Amino acid sequence: MRIVKKLLGFLLILIVLAAGAGYVFFFVVHPKKRASAELKAPSTPEAIERGRYLATHVMGCLGCHSEGDVTMPGDPHKPGTEGGGRDFGDIPDFPGHIRAPNITPDPEHGVGKWTDGELVRALREGLSRDGRVLFPMMPYGTYHDLLSDEDALAIVAFLRSLKPLPNNPGPMEVKFPVSMFIRLAPQPVETPAGAAPTEKLARGRWLLRVASCTECHTPSEKGKPIEGMEYAGGGKFPLPIGDLYVPNITSDQATGIGAYSDEDLLRVLNEGVNKAGKSLYMMPWTLYRGMTDEDKQALIAAMREIKPIANVVPASTIKR
């Protein structure tokens, strides 16, 4: 009996030590963060226009941070709500409630009191002004590696130009234990990315990532992308009008876009219809159609080189 008590005592000590180590790892060591840098966004019309183009037509920031309508093709945002935040409502199987914050210059509900450096840190490192971890649905891990100071500050310049909207969509809610694990996501930027590439294929590869094609079209399991299934589609999004399954955009001839012509792909970007003429939902083509012709051609060139993966995606059940 004495030996059993000693073993139980030893086990209890191990449990306490493990719990303490876990607490230190998740709540002391993480999130990794640094003070926001002293940065100043330009206010020239050219910088604001550059930021508008990136935030609206490339990165699609306004798609998430404005009121939208998922029951309409392309999830168009409602005029007059640009940057005012969005409540995505209840999403089946999601551990929480997604709300994208107000990013207009409103001083109470938006980012009017944020410094330019704090906004850049949020964009690339995933930390709010108060140090709170942003949910990685915002792809700050991608921007961490690809967004230069110049581009990040141009986006800040554009956000400063938006009409202040006194709208509060409410806080993002993430349940335990996901709320604990997302603390591992933020990473300080040690060396800012260089300028975005201009050569066609390199530019297209850059666009594939900053436009979040990777995140949406790569299936995941337990919150992590499935290795070897990049861009192969299959993710399910329950919508009020039916279930949407994300298409395969690899170069596979039978199940991907291998049989699409460049004109077919341009129609996807410009009109939001697939090769069969069916309207596309959720994909924010209403924003991407504003890309320059050069960027669309670069994006298509990069899509052509995605390795083919045979993955049959279920047909969406959109009732329209």
The model's confidence at residue 157, banded by pLDDT at 50, 70 and 90, is very high
> Are β-strands 173-174 and 242-245 bridged in parallel, bridged antiparallel, or unpaired?
unpaired
Instruction: Say yes or no: 64 and 170 in one domain.
Output: yes
Classify residue 98: in a domain, yes or no: yes
Contacts of 304 (CB under 8 A, 6+ apart): 251
Residue 166 has, within 13 A of its CA and on its CB side, a CA count of 1
Instruction: Say yes or no: 51 and 175 in one domain.
Output: yes
Q: How many domains does the chain have?
A: 2
Classify residue 22: in a domain, yes or no: no
Instruction: Say yes or no: 226 and 157 in one domain.
Output: no
Instruction: Say yes or no: 165 and 258 in one domain.
Output: no
Distance in angstroms (rounded) separating the CA atoms of residues 94 and 113: 31
Q: Which two tokens stand for residue 275?
A: 């090769």
8 pLDDT higher than 70: no
Strand ranges (DSSP E) for 69-180?
Answer: 86-87, 96-97, 99-100, 173-174
Distance in angstroms (rounded) separating the CA atoms of residues 73 and 69: 8
Q: Which two tokens stand for residue 80?
A: 């007059």
Classify residue 101: in a domain, yes or no: yes
Distance in angstroms (rounded) separating the CA atoms of residues 117 and 105: 15
DSSP 31: S
Instruction: Say yes or no: 176 and 66 in one domain.
Output: yes
Cis peptide before 240 (omega within 30 of 0): no
One-letter amino acid at 68 equals G
Instruction: Say yes or no: 50 and 179 in one domain.
Output: yes
Instruction: Say yes or no: 129 and 204 in one domain.
Output: no
Classify residue 189: in a domain, yes or no: no
Classify residue 40: in a domain, yes or no: no
Distance in angstroms (rounded) separating the CA atoms of residues 317 and 312: 15
Model pLDDT for residues 83-112, shown as the tens digit of each residue: 999 998 877 777 888 899 999 999 999 999
Instruction: Say yes or no: 204 and 287 in one domain.
Output: yes
Classify residue 6: in a domain, yes or no: no
Model pLDDT for residues 234-273, shown as the tens digit of each residue: 988 888 888 999 999 999 999 999 999 999 999 999 999 9
Model pLDDT for residues 287-299, shown as the tens digit of each residue: 999 999 999 999 9
Query: Domain residues for 210?
Result: 200-304
Give me the CATH number covering residue 211.
1.10.760
Instruction: Say yes or no: 81 and 110 in one domain.
Output: yes
Pair 55, 61: CB distance under 8 Å: yes
Q: Given 114, 149, 184, which residue is the final one in a domain?
A: 184
Specify burial of residue 304 (Cβ count, 10 A radius: 0-12, 13-18, 19+): middle
Model pLDDT for residues 162-212, shown as the tens digit of each residue: 999 999 999 888 888 888 788 888 899 988 899 999 999 999 999 999 999
Instruction: Say yes or no: 53 and 134 in one domain.
Output: yes
